[in-house]
């Protein structure tokens, strides 16, 4: 009896010893299976990303040896192709026309101010010559024009550089008898000399109210032709990152290749950008930059009224850089939260000198805006910069009463990348470090537009 009990006890003891051993084998098997699963998952994820990248490149650049047409069937660009609505800023196309030897007119717009309908034309002339013209309005249901009442307003600004110039910007105003009828054209002319009548198409927008998330940038013409392709690609790539999809370019001498690319399907359908290009055959010497900027500003505000919610006027070497926000529209909405009555946002401008050494951490081939991280602390006469709400400015009789919000440099600033050697500002002691632009470096390196330019497939 004892022998049987001992045998049973021995078997039970062996089973108890085998259980921990089996558990160890089970655990080891589970660890091996988990490791294999993780490795397999990482492998498939790597292959998936490679396949996705290849498909993205093929959709964006096209197959080798095949012309890329950026068709709307491309799945990668489905949202931008089908959801982006191209706004029309080019029709009717403006151009500078001569009224007299000392006065020229560019564009005309219909506006209603407190029930008073009128045509307002943007013009430029010598400061010491008072504009004195007659005007006529053209209507669809009439063969000939109707004589209107002429008046003018000189464009005022806080920029002291403009006040010193021999040129001034003007609004030439023509009112008809029936303020409810909208003319399609206006003619300005002198009555005391050989008649020379400049006909200008009148632009009118009834797209009110504008979409609240739309932001446009009007880009001023450079002082001279020959703008580099890198400057264009980097400017558009960055501002697309901060939510700008509408661009109005005042063309002062872009190459045919660049113009063709900007008007092509790659920009509109492939990248979801709307680019309008306006001729800028300014009739006076190009060095009067402050005057041309003022005139472009007035034309831009009238052209975008009722179409976009926010608009700014920039040159190709200026970037609006928020420090905390990712989208400019969101930043402006936060400043105007609950009121929606702010017509202007004043943002400080700081000047980054191209001559100053590159940032120590910057890659030599990186865009200029990432290599220059020090700005001049010397007091300069930088022109004031504003973000506008054109639908609040258009139709306002008292522009001085419009609400203005001031944005501190700790929230956002306009970075201007320019030459400082002629001002004697290339001095390390007069420069301060500003790394705000670097927060966008990763996104900009992945920008489809910038990669398209880097690969040589954008401007072709």
Mind listing the pLDDT tens digit for each residue in 105-119? 999 999 888 778 899
- Evaluate whether residue 296 is within a structural domain: yes
**What pLDDT score was predicted for residue 363?**
84
Residues 220, 343 share a domain: yes
Predicted confidence (pLDDT) at residue 71 exceeds the cutoff of 60? no
Which residues are within 8 A (CB) of 448 and not within 5 positions of it... i.e. 6 or more apart?
Answer: 60, 270, 271
197 and 325 co-located in one domain: no
191 and 246 together in one domain: no
Residue 328 lies in a domain: yes
More confident call, 81 vs 169: 169
CA distances from 42 to 34, 37, 53, 83 (A): 12, 9, 16, 35
Residue 91 lies in a domain: no
User: Tokens 């001049």 label which residue?
Assistant: 376
Same structural domain for residues 191 and 216? no
How many other CB atoms are found less than 10 A from the CB of residue 234?
23
Q: Per-residue pLDDT tens for 376-428?
A: 877 655 677 999 998 888 766 555 567 889 999 999 999 999 888 765 555 66
Q: Which of 203, 226, 250 is the last residue of a domain?
A: 203
**Are residues 283 and 431 part of one domain?**
yes
Cβ pair 298, 169 in contact under 8 A: yes
Is the Cβ–Cβ distance between 104 and 124 less than 8 Å? Answer: yes
- Residue range 235-242: average pLDDT? 95
* Residue 83 forms part of a structural domain: no
Dihedral of the CA atoms 294, 190, 140, 278 (nearest 10)? Answer: -30
Pairing of strands 198-203, 274-279: unpaired
Three-class SS state of 227: coil
The pair of structure tokens assigned to 446 is: 């992945």
Highest mean pLDDT among 98-112, 153-167, 446-460: 98-112
Q: Which helix (H) or strand (E) holds 118?
A: strand 116-126
* pTM confidence score: 0.78
Give the length of the chain: 460
Same domain for 199 and 215: no
Compute the average pLDDT of residues 250-272: 87
Tokens of 80: 């931008």
Cα 375 to Cα 26, 272, 326, 402: the distances in Å are 64, 33, 22, 32
Asked if residue 240 and residue 153 are part of one domain, the reply reads no
Range of the domain at 135: 97-203
Report which of residues 418 and 65 the model is more confident about: 418
Among the listed residues 56, 120, 430, the one whose alpha carbon sits nearest the alpha carbon of residue 271: 56
Residue 23 lies in a domain: no
- Count, in order, helices (H) and strands (E) of the chain: 12, 21
Q: What pLDDT, on the 0 to 100 scale, is given for residue 397?
A: 55
Task: Tell me: pLDDT of 18 over 60.
Answer: no
Token pair recorded at residue 440: 């966008």
My answer on whether 196 and 241 are in the same domain is: no
Rounded CA-CA distance 225/374 in Å is 28
- Domain presence at residue 92: no
Residue 81 domain flag: no
| Paired sense of beta strands 385-388 and 342-347, if any | antiparallel
Q: Output the average pLDDT for the chain.
A: 80
Helix then strand then coil, in percent of the chain rounded to 5, is: 35, 25, 40
Q: Token pair of 146, please?
A: 């109707």
On the question of a cis peptide bond just before residue 116, with omega within 30 degrees of 0, the verdict is no
At 149, which CATH number? Answer: 2.60.40
Does 389 lie in the same domain as 328?
yes
Q: Please give the structure tokens belonging to residue 458.
A: 């954008």
Lowest average pLDDT, out of 63-77, 397-411, 443-457, goes to: 63-77
Q: Are 105 and 199 in contact (CB under 8 A)?
A: no
Based on the fold, state whether residues 256 and 115 are members of the same structural domain.
no
Q: For position 61, what pLDDT does the model report?
A: 37
Q: Choose one of 172, 203, 234: the last residue of a domain.
A: 203
* Assigned domain for 33 exists: no
Whether residues 402 and 438 fall in one domain: yes
Domain boundary among 177, 203, 229: 203
Do residue 257 and residue 191 come from a single domain? Answer: no
> How many domains, the chain?
2
Question: Residue 210: what pLDDT?
Answer: 66
């Amino acid at each position: 009896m004892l022998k049987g009990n001992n045998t049973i006890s021995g078997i039970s003891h062996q089973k108890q010893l085998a259980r921990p051993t089996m558990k160890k084998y089970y655990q080891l098997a589970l660890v091996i299976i988990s490791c294999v699963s993780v490795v397999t998952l990482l492998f498939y994820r790597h292959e998936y990303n490679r396949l996705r990248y290849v498909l993205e490149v093929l959709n964006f650049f096209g197959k080798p040896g095949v012309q890329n047409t950026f068709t709307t069937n491309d799945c990668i660009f489905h949202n931008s192709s089908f959801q982006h609505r191209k706004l029309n800023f080019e029709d009717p196309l403006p151009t500078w026309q001569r009224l007299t030897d000392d006065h020229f007119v560019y564009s005309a717009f219909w506006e209603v101010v407190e029930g008073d309908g009128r045509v307002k034309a943007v013009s430029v002339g010598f400061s010491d010559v008072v504009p004195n013209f007659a005007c006529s309005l053209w209507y669809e249901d009439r063969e000939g024009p109707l004589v209107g009442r002429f008046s003018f307003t000189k464009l005022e600004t806080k920029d002291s550089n403009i006040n010193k110039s021999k040129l001034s910007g003007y609004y030439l105003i023509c009112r008809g008898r029936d303020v409810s009828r909208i003319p399609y054209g206006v003619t300005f002319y002198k009555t005391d000399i050989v008649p020379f009548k400049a006909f200008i198409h009148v632009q009118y927008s009834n797209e009110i109210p504008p979409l609240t998330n739309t932001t446009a940038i009007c880009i001023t013409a450079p002082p001279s032709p020959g703008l580099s392709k890198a400057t264009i690609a980097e400017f558009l790539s960055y501002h697309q990152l901060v939510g700008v999809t509408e661009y109005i370019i005042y063309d002062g001498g872009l190459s045919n290749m660049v113009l063709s690319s900007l008007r092509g399907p790659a920009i509109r359908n492939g990248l979801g950008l709307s680019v309008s290009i306006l001729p800028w055959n300014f009739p006076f010497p190009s060095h009067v930059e402050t005057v041309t900027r003022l005139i472009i500003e007035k034309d831009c505000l009238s052209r975008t009224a009722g179409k976009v919610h926010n608009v700014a006027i920039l040159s190709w070497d200026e970037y609006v850089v928020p420090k905390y926000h990712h989208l400019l529209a969101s930043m402006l909405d936060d400043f105007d939260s609950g009121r929606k009555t702010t017509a202007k946002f004043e943002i400080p401008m700081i000047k980054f000198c191209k001559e100053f050494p590159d940032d120590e951490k910057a890659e030599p081939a990186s865009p200029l805006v990432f290599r220059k991280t020090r700005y001049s602390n010397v007091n300069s006469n930088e022109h004031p910069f504003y973000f506008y709400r054109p639908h609040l400015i258009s139709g306002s009789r008292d522009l001085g009463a419009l609400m203005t919000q001031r944005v501190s440099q700790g929230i956002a600033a306009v970075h201007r990348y320019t030459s400082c050697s002629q001002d004697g500002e290339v001095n390390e002691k007069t420069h301060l470090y500003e790394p705000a632009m670097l927060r966008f470096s990763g996104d900009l390196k992945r920008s489809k537009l910038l990669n398209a330019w880097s690969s040589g497939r954008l401007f072709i």
